[in-house]
Every structure is written in structure tokens, then in C-alpha cells.
Structure 1
Amino acid sequence: MPALSQRLARLAFAGMLGWLALLFLPLATAPGPAEEAGHLLLLAPLVLVPLYLTASVPASFEPAPRSLDVASWLLLPGMLGAAGSLLVPVGLVAGLLAAPWLLAAAAVAVWSVRRGLRLWREGALDAAEAALVLGWATLPGGALWLVLARSGAPTDYTGLIVLLTAVHFHYAGCLVLVWAGLLGRTLPASLRGLHRVLGVGLAVGFWGVAAGIALIRGPAGGSTVETVAVVVLAASAIGAGGLGLVRAGRIEDRMAGLMIAVSGGVLILAMGFALWFHLGARVGADAPDVAQMVSRHGWLNAFFGLWGALGWRRLRPRPAAAVR
């Protein structure tokens, strides 16, 4: 396990340096929201996935499961491919460059599902572990949408919407559920019922949004399914963020607690913007457009993901003992 943890930490550190450098480079996308979405998307494979993966793995794993070890070795080519795919024009080459990230994401999902099945057979699959399994199992969906976005494969959506869908899968589909699962590991029995309800809401809301967008061919809140799902997803995420704020004050590691509190608070703000975007026009309020959502909701998601990743990774060696 130490070798795996060190490998993931090095990947995240190198990925952060690479991501910061890419902020000063023009991506091979249309300027404006698409380029901004590309930078936000790259933060996930380059930095957040390695950090959250370290936080998700029990420190008692020794040696690391073979499926997880394989997945960890696939992360580097996946990270490089994801970054490279956004530095060349849309087409076959960009799609091929993005493909290694899909392979790495699939390997992570295989490890997660196998672990979930083992816990289920042992009667140890609680709401926290289920959220982790569901979150990591969603990661290939985000990678697939990245491949579609960069290859220019024909879809019913514009290029920007395909890219934003990849961002949505990485953050709302994978990382929010993983964050909620890590939170659940630290909760006392009195709060686990609430956490279970929030976890179900996150999963149902996310896939409901995906179904609603598929029904109307666009993220404009035009279908009842999407609208209801957005409310469920946002309310569940706001609840999870609030629960994280409450629990952060009980964490003995004050630095980790501060990071988790910041992450939970930012998650609440990010989902507030999501509600505003989808419901603003219906209640007579001027809703932000897609460009404003990328620059506000998108970057809030990035801050949520990064602060949470640092906080939960800091707690990983002793998740149970860290809570009074």
C-alpha cells in the first residue's frame, strides 16, 4: 500500500504542476466557455482522481489489490492522453489521445465494483461504501464523453454540450458521490440514516439529470424529468455539504477539518447556482446563461473538488479515529 499511495501522490503532484501550466496555454477549443470547460475538466484526471483514489483506499490494504494496482499504472498514460486530447484539434487524433483516459477510468471502475461486490457478500456494504462504489463506477461515463467531445463523433448535441457533459460526469457523477462516501465513513450512527437518504438522492438525481437531458437534447431545463432531477440532485448535494460543515468541526485534525468545511461550503454554493440556472426563469428571476454557469458553477465545483480531495486524503490513514 505505501508504494501505491506514493505513486498516486506523485501523480497528483505532477498533475497539478501540469494543470497549472496548461492554464497559460490555449486549448484546441473554441475560446470562451469551451476553453474554460476544458481547463475545469482536466483538473479531474490530472489532480482530483489520484487524490480521491488515495483517500478511498483503506490504509490497511497491504498489498494493494491487483485490480487497483493495474488501474494506478494506467492513470499516467490516461492523464497525459486527456491533456493531449485538448491540445490538438477535434478529430481522430484527439479522440485516440483521449482513449487512454477511458481505459484508466474503466480500470478504476472495475476495481470499485469488485470491491463493492466483495463487501456486499460480506454484509459490509453500507451507505458510505455504496456511494464510493457508485461514484467510481460513474467515472468511465465522463471519460467516454471526453472521447466523444474530442473525436468529434456525431451526437445529438453541440460540441460545447458534449464537453460540458464530460465535466458533469466527472464532478456531479463521480466526485460528489465519492466525497459523500468519504464523509459517510466518519459519521456516527445517529447521522447515517440522513446520509443514506442524501446518497440515494445524489445517485438518483444525477442519473435523472442525464435522462432528462437525453429527452430534450439539451441542458436547458426543458423536461419535467430533468427539472425534478436537478432539484433532487442539488438538494441532496446541499444537504451533503451542510452535513460536511457540521462534521468538520468534530475532526481532530484541524487542518483537514478546515479543508472539508471549505469544500462543503463551496459545494452548497455550486449547487445553489445549479438551481438558479434551471429554475430562475420559472420563478421570474434572471437565470445565468451557459457561459456564466461555466465561470461560476464550474469553478466552484473545481474548488469543492480540490479542497475536499486534500482534506479527505489527509484523513485517510485514520478515518474512524479522526472523529470524536
Structure 2
Amino acid sequence: MLANLRKNLFSPVLFLGWILFIICYLFSKQPNYLILLTFAQLVLVPAMVKIVVSFNKKGHVIMSVMMIAVTLLHWLADSELAIYLAIVYVLYTAFIALQGVTRFLHRGFVNIAEIAIDIGLIYILIGGLWFFAYIAEIDTGFSPLITWLTAIHFHYSACLLAISIGLFGRIHKSKGYNIVVFILLTGPLLVALGIAFSTIIEIVSVMLYIVAIYWLFKLALKISLPKRQCILLQVSYGALCFTIVWSLLYAFGNFSGIIIVSIPDMLTFHGLVNCFLFGLIGVIAWGLEVPISTHQSYTFPVSRIRGKLHTTGDAHAGLVDALQDFVDTSHLPTVIPHFYEHTNCYQLIASVQWRAWFKPLALIYQGISRWMQQLNLPLTSKQVEMNGVIVKVDERQDGRQAPRAWIRTIDEQTTFVAIYSQHTTAQTTFMNIALPLPFSTMIGILYVYEKDGDLHITSSDGGDAGIYLAMKHYVFRLPLNEHFTITAKNETTLSAVHTMRIFGLPFLRIDYQIERK
């Protein structure tokens, strides 16, 4: 484990951070409390970021320049150069945030532990902007000290804690963990809003934060890690259990007017404990052994088509060549495989039903969808005829196996352009559907199964299944899910229900009546 510690936390750039911090601590002309933020800027954040992000030579140069700029500010804070040195720090935090965005674009809304790390990397930019506001003496509506406290808040409570709980999530999975992560990731913003606008919001957010912190500590007591690392991690999270109580007492004082804990008290106890017991001990704990990410890169084929679709013009019979490729059709009424294999032989009547809470967004989106001629659904729920034609797509242009486009229209307005293909992963064949968008493509990887004589097609059944967005070389999962249920009414008639959810909330349902022409 000590070898891991040397590998993860001993490098020339991190050594430079320690040297510069010691210089600031011994010789700085700035108020003593500023050293708490400097320690995060020069030591803790660079070390934690290095644990989760691999930097090349360029990244190390950027980090070294930042460290020099932060150090110089201890002597040049009152000079004309101060604002330029602060800009250097903002650019560095933007560079770190970009790493978080890039990580997210390679994965998307999946794997909450990795999302926590992404958000932690992005939060540092907010801390950088507040630090710039403090150095540049920008009127934020708060005193300079509160502006500085907000900056340190986003370095410790946002960046460092988010990355730490993300690493924790690589080795622990539970519903309780998911709730804890949600509270702790939204907490820094809620606390900041409370400080800015409402002491009630501040108290409520701190109380939720307390519940989440103590819950996290309870989870840490049960985690299976090497003993030394386990103890350090428990000390780190245990320190938060102590300091968060001081935050609650401070917030209550702001609300009631009865000062129990003052800002100097917060700096002395809350600040120092977070700095060393939470921050430093936490970094050392993860440096002893970095958990490996459980996320697997996407390997399924993705359509290369972006923007407007160019078809061959040659007609194709159905959405699939053989439904048997996806599911055992022996328990399905024959009309269901016939529809998928001879789709052009059928007429569709559709009724689109938007959930009430989503209708304002659907109204705004409709102007965009009409321009794109894609996902262009009516706002009314009355039944409308949906005409369709299936045409071949050049396989060399698309890049997938035997692509064919199902182009559907309502009143001569293009509603959907969906390019159907398929792929097989681990002996499971998925529908691989691409919907071309400007500069991108939405990808639906759908799992097919039979239940009680009905055909089900879903994006939420594990494996490759999901809805993704492909942009350039990025493929990331969207917080969307869809489910189709296809039922045979008789030998020539089907009904289908298509439901969609966003972040688990239902927002769209389309009912289809499908009849053979």
C-alpha cells in the first residue's frame, strides 16, 4: 500500500505544491485564515484530481503554473498583477472542469459513482470563480469574507467531497448510497443559495446535509477495505460528522439572531478540522489504494450518420428481416412478427399524450422539432394517421449492418426518421436504432422479449440497452428510457403502447392502432 501511496501522491508537481504551501504558511503577508484555502489549492485538490485523472506533460505544466500564481497572490494581492494571477487560477479550474465534462461525455447518465467524480471536477470551477471575485474585489452582494468562504466551500464541501464519495461508490453499491450522493452533490448549491437568499433554505439544506453525512459515515463503518485505509477513510468522514454540526449552529444563529458559533469559530474549528482530518486524511486514504472504475466502455456499433439522412430510395419490406433474431416468436401471435417483417403492409393511427407537467417544455420544443423534422410530435391527443415508408440506407454511409430508415409523417410533416439495424452482444441481439439530429445522432439500443403473448421492447433491461447521444467520438447515455408493448387484437390488427420517461418521470405516451392494409 505504501508503494501505491508513492505512485499516487508523490510526483514532482505535487511536491512543488507542498513546497509552495510551506513557503506561504511561513512567510505569507495575508491573514492566517487564507492558508486554509491555499492548502486546498496547492495540495489537496491537485492530489485528489491526480487520483482520478491522468495528466500528460501539458496538464502538469498547467498545474505548476497555477501553483505559482496562487503562491504569488500571497504577496501581490494588492497589486495590479493580482487580477491576472487570479485569472490564471480560473483558467486552471476551467481546465479541471473540462476533464469532468470529458469524462461525462464518454459515459453519460450512468454509474452514479463516476457522475459524482465528474461533478466534483466541475464544482472546482465554481470555487475558482468565487476566488476570482474575492481577489478582484467584485461586488457579489456579500462581504469579502463571505465571498472567500463561498470559494473555500466549493473547494472542500463540493470538489473534494464529491470526488471522495465517487471513489467510495466504486466499492459500494446500495439505494442508501444513491440517496446520500444525491443530497451531497446538490447540497453545496443549496447551502450557497441559502447563504445568498434565505436562512430557512440554509438551515434545511444543512439538516439534509447532516443526515447524508452521518449516513455516509455509517456506510463507511461497514465497508470492506484494507484496515489502514478503512480507518483513515472513517476518520475523514467522521470529521465531517463533527464539523457539519458547527455549520448547523452557525446557520441557526443566522436564522434566530442568537450567535452560537461565529465566523472566527467556524474558521478555527470547522475550517481546521475539514482541512486536515477530512481533506488531508481523505486524500491519503484514497492514495493508499485507488478503487478501479466499474464502468465499461460502450462497444456496440453506432451509426455514422449525422444531420440530414440520404437514402438510396429503394424500398424495404420491414423494420427487421426476421423477428426470430431477437426473440423466440413461437409464443407470439403471427401478426406481430409479420408487422415487424412487413411493416409497409400496415397502417398506423396514433394518439400522442404528453404529461401535464411536460407540456410547456413540449410546446417550446415543437418549434425546434419542426425545423429538424425529427421527433416532431403533435401537442394534441386526438387520433391522427401516421403514414410511413421504409427505405434502404447505404451501409457504407451508416456503418452498421443492413440499415433501413422508417420515415413517418403526419399531415405531410415528417415526424420520425429512425434508421433500424441490429447488433449482438453476449449472445443477445438488440435493436440498434439511430435518429439523426443536427451534428449528432440519438441511439436507441432496445432489448426485445415476449411475455404473456405480448411483445415488449425496452431500453432499460441492462446490458447495452439504453438511449444514447453520439456526438463526434463521444457516446453518452441520456436520462431517458422507453418501453413498447405490442399486443395482437386479431389476425390483422395490433395495438401498441409507447411510454417514455426522463430521470424516471413519465412524460410521454403514444397509443397506436395498427391495422393491415
TM-score bin, normalised by smaller chain: 0.7 to 0.9
Matches within 5 A, 1:173-252: 173-187=158-172, 189=173, 192-215=174-197, 222-247=198-223, 250-252=224-226
Contact kept in structure 1, 2:8 and 2:50, CA below 8 Å: no
Contact kept in structure 2, 1:55 and 1:315, CA below 8 Å: no
Contact kept in structure 2, 1:52 and 1:309, CA below 8 Å: yes
Consecutive unaligned residues of structure 1, counting only runs of 5 or more, are: 58-63, 216-221
Check 1:314–1:22 CA distance in 2 against 1; reply closer, same or farther (3 A cut).
same
How far 1:311 sits from its partner (Å)? 0.9
CA distance in 2, matches of 1:97, 1:226: 32
Task: With the length of structure 1 as denominator, give the TM-score of the two structures.
Answer: 0.80
1:76 corresponds to which of 61, 64, 67: 64
Check 1:55–1:41 CA distance in 2 against 1; reply closer, same or farther (3 A cut).
same
Matches within 5 A, 1:104-115: 104-115=92-103
How far 1:143 sits from its partner (Å)? 1.0
Q: Please tell me whether residue 315 in structure 1 is matched to residue 311 in structure 2.
A: no
CA distance in 1, matches of 2:140, 2:253: 28
Paired position in structure 2 for 1:255:
228
Paired position in structure 1 for 2:237:
264
Instruction: Report the AA paired with residue 140 of structure 1.
Output: L
Deviation string 1:46-68 (CA, Å, 9 cap, x unpaired) is 111221112224xxxxxx57xx7
Alignment partner of 2:68: what SS? helix
Instruction: Report the AA paired with residue 69 of structure 2.
Output: G
Paired position in structure 1 for 2:41:
45
How far 1:283 sits from its partner (Å)? 8.3
Deviation string 1:128-149 (CA, Å, 9 cap, x unpaired) is 1111111111101111111111
Contact kept in structure 2, 1:206 and 1:233, CA below 8 Å: no
The structure where strand makes up a greater share of residues is: 2
Instruction: Report the AA paired with residue 9 of structure 1.
Output: S
CA distance in 1, matches of 2:133, 2:99: 24
Alignment partner of 2:260: what SS? coil
How far 1:296 sits from its partner (Å)? 0.6
Paired position in structure 2 for 1:171:
156
Contact kept in structure 1, 2:8 and 2:51, CA below 8 Å: no
CA distance in 1, matches of 2:228, 2:282: 12
Tell which deviates more after alignment, 101-110 or 270-279.
Answer: 270-279
Contact kept in structure 2, 1:241 and 1:263, CA below 8 Å: no
Tell which deviates more after alignment, 11-20 or 74-83.
Answer: 11-20
Paired position in structure 2 for 1:118:
106
Q: Please tell me whether residue 101 in structure 1 is matched to residue 75 in structure 2.
A: no
Alignment partner of 2:128: what SS? helix
Tell which deviates more after alignment, 41-50 or 79-88.
Answer: 79-88
CA distance in 1, matches of 2:8, 2:116: 25
Contact kept in structure 2, 1:9 and 1:51, CA below 8 Å: no
CA distance in 2, matches of 1:284, 1:91: 38
How far 1:172 sits from its partner (Å)? 1.0
The structure where helix makes up a greater share of residues is: 1
Check 1:83–1:152 CA distance in 2 against 1; reply closer, same or farther (3 A cut).
same
Alignment partner of 1:24: what SS? helix
Consecutive unaligned residues of structure 2, counting only runs of 5 or more, are: 295-517
Contact kept in structure 2, 1:91 and 1:152, CA below 8 Å: no
Larger radius of gyration: 2
Q: Please tell me whether residue 24 in structure 1 is matched to residue 19 in structure 2.
A: no
Tell which deviates more after alignment, 236-245 or 40-49.
Answer: 236-245
Paired position in structure 1 for 2:52:
56
CA distance in 1, matches of 2:152, 2:265: 15
CA distance in 2, matches of 1:45, 1:318: 26
CA distance in 2, matches of 1:275, 1:96: 36
Contact kept in structure 2, 1:136 and 1:174, CA below 8 Å: yes
Contact kept in structure 1, 2:183 and 2:208, CA below 8 Å: yes
1:89 corresponds to which of 48, 72, 77: 77
CA distance in 1, matches of 2:215, 2:253: 20
